């Protein structure tokens, strides 16, 4: 693994553990076993390295989310897969946690990859819902944009509830409640 890759991986780890403001360049360098010169050779700044880490996190999340939303045969099954409790629920969403950091939201270069990823996720959910409307599984008057935003908001909020309680139970309860609003089986097309 190259020094640049080790630096990005280390930044990913520390962003998730400590947030942007709580992560020092020195800590990243130590975890990556890379010197200051190496870090600044590959990245102009801490922010530049953080953006590279955010982009890599986004790529990894795209693979995971795409697989979850492609599983199952019904809208409900696909959304249930998206909402599945993961092993890191108490750590929260890797990207979602970062928008709680004032330094991230005040810097467009740090905020933009996260905003772009949330738009992408919402679009993937919207497509699942649109397919459900098209195949008769969901009500044709459903506002798919609003429901997609709600599904994403429930997942992000469920992470916050779980972290606050230090238990996966609030996450499970929030997602179970949302799933009760989706039909369990496909309606026959008439």
Please count the helices (runs of H) and the strands (runs of E) in the chain: 9, 0
Q: Return the pLDDT at 82.
A: 95
| Mean predicted lDDT score pLDDT of the chain | 93
Number of CB atoms found within 10 A of residue 121's CB: 22
Mean pLDDT throughout 140-164? 96
Is the per-residue pLDDT at 189 higher than 60? no
- 103-122 average pLDDT score: 97
**184 has a pLDDT exceeding 80:** no
pTM: 0.90
Q: In the chain, what are the domain boundaries? A: 56-179
Is 30's pLDDT higher than 80?
Answer: yes
Fold of domain 56-179? Tetracycline Repressor; domain 2 (1.10.357)
Residue of higher predicted confidence among 1 and 47: 47
What is the predicted pLDDT for the residue at 54?
Answer: 97
pLDDT tens digits for range 40-98: 899 999 999 999 999 999 999 999 999 999 998 999 999 999 998 777 899 889 999 99
Strand ranges inside 1-145, DSSP E: none
Q: Quick one: pLDDT at residue 185?
A: 55
Burial of 129 (0-12, 13-18, 19+ CB in 10 A): buried
Q: What angle do CA 120, 60, 30 make, to 5 degrees?
A: 125
pLDDT at 186: 47
In this prediction, residues 20-31 reach a mean pLDDT of 96
Kindly state the average pLDDT of the residues 92-111.
94
pLDDT tens by residue, 155-177: 999 999 999 999 999 999 999 99
Question: What is the model's pLDDT at position 68?
Answer: 95
By percentage, how much of the chain surpasses pLDDT 70? 97
CB contact at 8 A, 40 and 78: no
**Percent of the chain having pLDDT more than 90?**
85
Give the pLDDT of residue 19. Answer: 94
């Amino acid at each position: 693994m190259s020094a640049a890759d080790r630096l990005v991986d280390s930044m990913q780890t520390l962003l998730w553990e400590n947030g942007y403001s709580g992560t020092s360049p020195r800590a990243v360098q130590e975890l990556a076993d890379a010197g200051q010169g190496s870090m600044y050779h590959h990245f102009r700044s801490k922010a530049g390295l953080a953006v590279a880490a955010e982009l890599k996190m986004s790529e990894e999340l795209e693979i995971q989310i795409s697989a979850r939303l492609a599983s199952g045969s019904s809208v409900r099954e696909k959304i249930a897969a998206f909402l599945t409790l993961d092993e890191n629920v108490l750590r929260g969403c890797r990207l979602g946690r970062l928008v709680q950091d004032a330094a991230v939201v005040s810097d467009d270069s740090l905020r933009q990859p996260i905003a772009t990823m949330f738009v992408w996720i919402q679009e993937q959910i919207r497509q699942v819902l649109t397919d459900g409307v098209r195949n008769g599984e969901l009500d044709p008057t459903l506002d798919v944009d609003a429901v997609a935003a709600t599904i994403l908001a429930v997942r992000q909020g469920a992470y916050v509830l779980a972290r606050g309680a230090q238990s996966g139970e609030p996450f499970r309860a929030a997602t179970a409640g949302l799933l009760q609003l989706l039909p369990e089986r496909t309606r026959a097309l008439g």
